[in-house]
Structure 1
Amino acid sequence: MPDSLTRETTTTSVVLLATTPACKLSSSDGTLLDRVTDQLATLPVREIQVVTPGGGLGADLRGVAKIARISTGAVAVLPADLVAHTEALALLLDHPARGSGALVSYDAATAPMRPPVRVEGGKIVAAGSSFHVVPEANATFRGVLKAGEADLGALADIAEELAELADTGKLGPVTPVEAVDLLLVGLVRAGVSVRAAGIGPLHADRVTGQIAADTAVSRLAEVDEAKVRLDLAIKADDGFFATFFVSTWTRHLIKPAARLKVAPNTVTGASIGVAALAAVWFSEGSQGGRLAGALLFYLSFGLDCLDGQLARYTRTFSPLGAWADGMADRLKEYAVYVGLALGFAGAGIWQLAVAAMILQVARHAIDQTYAGALTDAARVGAQWGRPARSLLESADGGRARGVLGLAQRLERDAIARWLKKSVVLPIGERTALIAVTAAGWNARVTFLSLLCWGGVAALYQLAGRIARSAR
């Protein structure tokens, strides 16, 4: 029977798998099990369920299934032989995202305690074990898995199915060491959306012997966790302009804003106000007005990046904040379109402004309707809404071909990856395009540039969505 340590702070429960001999290895203050338990006590988790050995892998998995079926909030599963930075654990356990996630390292060098995974678009799309193969893996799983409340039923079903397969020997010579690895494989193959929480330079390693445990613990002191927390607040997969021309200076505002207890929503409001001033200056129509508008619009985008960075740093996301941030992006951009059109004296400018606005609305609709369709399909269990994969397939058959295969190959080249990010004309590139063309030329050039580049981006997005849907 699991032991229970209660902490009434959040709705997240932790299942700590103390089922391997390594969890009894000594650490500075007791065993590795004691160390992990002490770390968890500093994080906002409601209770810790410790699963002890008693029947092998099948019994361990059934224990996880039992806990998942009675839990009323998110459940995290991790092994007690894990030596990790507390900040690495916090990436999942202190993160306000309500969905499922797993701790990964983008060091793709696999090992028996580091099973391979493939990450695309911030999600784990393939996961491996000693039985399950992952072609084109680009990361490794580091032992911490969180199932969101909506996915607890899937976790329980998968744990029970895996237990049956393990007991009957159908998964090969898998051992209790792989319990959490198999659960990740099952969730991914069942079509559950699992966020990839990258640990960056932080450490999270499972160990099997005392020397390895001592080495892993000593390595933790080599990393400045406070600096890494700041670095991880910056989006790793952001666009070219945001990465190199905005985040380079907004990162220095994160800690002062956090010390002053500035809320991310406050920064969002300031961003809207600055964009409104930019629109006013654009409407003035002079060269100086357009230059001032361009600088203010750039500053507005910087604040727009800062609100997300501050939210990630302080871990204070909210549904209202996410909605407000998305709405603010649209509002600011369209207000600037109006300002530019008002400040231009030539004929036909309003037609161009409306066309540019319609094109952006259509592009957002392509993305949002596709994402919504997948969500709805997964909710009702439609087969096309989730990958049709069996836990008995040792190899992942999801290797993409054609357009999607080309896109995956481009991801492995740094220059091609940045070009791929830029071609879709994300908001950072649109901000730069508007600011540069408005300050250097005029509103007509701005709208024509938006229509040309935006048209190419729309076709690229549409082709990608069609290819994914056909797949």
Structure 2
Amino acid sequence: MTDSLTESGTIVLLATTPAARLGCREGTLTDRLADQLATLPAREVQVLTSAGGLAADLRMVAKLARVASGPVALLPGDLVAHTEALAVLLEHPARDTRALVDGEAAAGPTRPPLRVEGGRITAAGSSFHTVPEANAAFAGGLQAGEADLGVLAEVAEELAELAESGRLGPVTPVETVDLLLVGLVRSGVPVRTAALGPLHCVRPTGQASADAAIERLAEVDEDQVRLDGAVKSDDGFFTSYLVSPLTRHLIRPAHALKLTPNAVTGVSVAVAVLAAVWFSEGGRVALVAGALLFYLSFALDCLDGQLARYTRGYTPLGAWADGMADRFKEYAVYVGLAYGYMATHAYGGGNPDGIWFLAVAAMMLQAVRHSLQFAYAGSVWDAGQTGALPARPSRSLLEPSDAGRRRPRQGLLRIAQRVRHGSAVHWLRRMVVLPIGERTALIAVTAAVSDARVTFVALLGWGAVAAAYQLVGRMMRSAE
């Protein structure tokens, strides 16, 4: 083992179980897993082959965690998985603490039970720890973000002491990663889920099951799963049904042309500026042309995010630039619409029907709505940093059951959040907040069939309802 580990992160292969040495075309299952990892962005790979037992493995993990300067991923050497499943865990840009989760398969000897709520693991099990109301299973892969490495080291050392004293029962090195996940969750570390979806990730117990698991991998088209994952499943109605079904067919061609997400964002901005220019002419043909160009600009805006997710080329800077571009495009179109209305209405001087007042009011309302959203997100983060939010109590690793967990309150907000995805109520909730897709449709349709004044009045009316809905929702969320 090296004295220091790279800032890009480290992957630890725990090849300490008999199954890790099962044969396959690449040699052993551990060899196969190492070959897969070599195809992913470079990280230092540490193969742990110690035969000192569970306690020795845990102490080695603790030592690695204490010297690492980037996220540390822990993978059993007997893991048989799609390469895309490994990428879901290892290539997320947040580089935070997360675990591979199968929401479809039932728990078993090598798939401990989990309880997942809101994309986070709230309870994790092992042969010693039970999980009432489990709704998912742990698929074997765990990553600890750099901020949580100290907790990982402490948990590993505590578990090593418990294992040596026999207080965890007859646990074996097969459960090393399972126990570490239990420890992180019970220590209050927020562990996010890396969902497998249709991908496979299993830990065979014998040669026959290993051969079957490897053969089963061919049943899934990994690139198609990657493509499907690039299209967001929680977008608004307009985006989900009238934009994404078209742009998903452009993802692979854009990737083949080596277009970057930022390049697509730039083209989207240019097309929006052209839409604003057409809107500024004010005639009916120009308004229709501007509406079509604005729709195209939004489609390209969706494509840049989809391309970023497909290539895993998203960065905080890119996300910020995309958000700023959205605001610029929308406000440029407001100016174009107002100027076009003024150009086609001779009365009223330079402000017929108060069109510029309406345009400025629409801009201000959008600014207020975004302030509500980002100020709330920032306040939640600040509260978490200063301890103003109630922390999850740390639970003993010797507590075998999670039965005493307090059930969450079933307030109106939680009930609303459990509305079935795809139902009419679900889409109504998504539309009422006037997301960017619905705003694009509102602007394009009203401008094409009517005029800028109708567009601004519609934006102000719907926007006011959306702002009130957001404000009430933030207040309810804060009160829970």
Q: Report the TM-score when normalising by structure 1.
A: 0.88
Aligned to 2:220, the other structure's residue is in SS state coil
Matches for 1:22-421 after TM superposition, within 5 Å: 22-52=19-49, 54=51, 56-107=53-104, 109-114=106-111, 115-120=113-118, 123-130=119-126, 131-133=129-131, 135=133, 137=135, 139-164=136-161, 176-188=173-185, 190=187, 192-344=189-341, 345=345, 346-380=352-386, 382=387, 384=389, 386-391=391-396, 392=399, 394-395=402-403, 396-397=405-406, 399-411=408-420, 414-421=423-430
In structure 2, how many angstroms separate the alpha carbons of the residues matched to 1:290 and 1:312? 33
Kept after mapping to 1: 8 A contact 2:362/2:460:
yes
In structure 2, how many angstroms separate the alpha carbons of the residues matched to 1:469 and 1:187? 26
Residue in structure 1 matched with residue 450 of structure 2 by the alignment? 441
Aligned to 2:353, the other structure's residue is in SS state coil
Kept after mapping to 2: 8 A contact 1:191/1:378:
no
Kept after mapping to 2: 8 A contact 1:82/1:207:
yes
Kept after mapping to 2: 8 A contact 1:85/1:202:
yes
In structure 1, how many angstroms separate the alpha carbons of the residues matched to 2:332 and 2:295? 14
Kept after mapping to 1: 8 A contact 2:121/2:193:
no
1:267 CA drift (Å): 0.7
How far does the alpha carbon of each residue in 1:41-65 deviate from its partner, in whole angstroms, 9 at most, with x for none?
2222332223345565444333322
Cα distance 1:321–1:160, how it changes in 2: closer, same or farther (>3 A)?
A: same
Q: Structure 1: which amino acid aligns with 2:450?
A: W
Aligned to 1:221, the other structure's residue is in SS state helix
Cα distance 1:136–1:468, how it changes in 2: closer, same or farther (>3 A)?
A: farther
Kept after mapping to 2: 8 A contact 1:4/1:49:
no
Aligned to 1:97, the other structure's residue is in SS state coil
The answer to whether structure 1 residue 450 and structure 2 residue 447 are counterparts is: no
Kept after mapping to 2: 8 A contact 1:4/1:50:
no
Cα distance 1:427–1:231, how it changes in 2: closer, same or farther (>3 A)?
A: same
Kept after mapping to 1: 8 A contact 2:121/2:192:
no
Aligned to 2:418, the other structure's residue is in SS state helix
Name the Cα RMSD after superposition: 3.0
In structure 1, how many angstroms separate the alpha carbons of the residues matched to 2:36 and 2:5? 13
In structure 2, how many angstroms separate the alpha carbons of the residues matched to 1:108 and 1:415? 29
Q: Structure 1: which amino acid aligns with 2:439?
A: R
1:281 CA drift (Å): 1.7
1:439 CA drift (Å): 1.6
How far does the alpha carbon of each residue in 1:293-345 deviate from its partner, in whole angstroms, 9 at most, with x for none?
11111111111111111112222222321110111111111222222222234
Cα distance 1:409–1:4, how it changes in 2: closer, same or farther (>3 A)?
A: same
1:171 CA drift (Å): 6.3
Aligned to 1:207, the other structure's residue is in SS state coil
Kept after mapping to 2: 8 A contact 1:239/1:428:
yes
Q: Give the greater-gyration-radius structure (CA).
A: 2
Q: Report the TM-score when normalising by structure 2.
A: 0.86
Kept after mapping to 1: 8 A contact 2:14/2:76:
yes
Cα distance 1:176–1:441, how it changes in 2: closer, same or farther (>3 A)?
A: farther
Residue in structure 2 matched with residue 426 of structure 1 by the alignment? 435
Unpaired stretches in structure 2, ≥5 consecutive residues: 346-351
Question: More deviation in 214-223 or 158-167?
Answer: 158-167
Q: Structure 2: which amino acid aligns with 1:153?
A: G
Number of matched pairs: 464
How far does the alpha carbon of each residue in 1:89-120 deviate from its partner, in whole angstroms, 9 at most, with x for none?
12232344333333233426443433334252
Task: Give aligned-pair identity as a percent.
Answer: 61
Q: Structure 1: which amino acid aligns with 2:305?
A: G
In structure 2, how many angstroms separate the alpha carbons of the residues matched to 1:190 and 1:351? 54
In structure 2, how many angstroms separate the alpha carbons of the residues matched to 1:215 and 1:414? 39
In structure 2, how many angstroms separate the alpha carbons of the residues matched to 1:364 and 1:170? 52
1:144 CA drift (Å): 1.5
Aligned to 1:69, the other structure's residue is in SS state helix
Q: Structure 1: which amino acid aligns with 2:295?
A: Y
How far does the alpha carbon of each residue in 1:120-162 deviate from its partner, in whole angstroms, 9 at most, with x for none?
2xx325242142526473x443222222223322332343444
How far does the alpha carbon of each residue in 1:448-471 deviate from its partner, in whole angstroms, 9 at most, with x for none?
322333233323333333333333
Cα distance 1:219–1:429, how it changes in 2: closer, same or farther (>3 A)?
A: same
Question: More deviation in 36-45 or 302-311?
Answer: 36-45
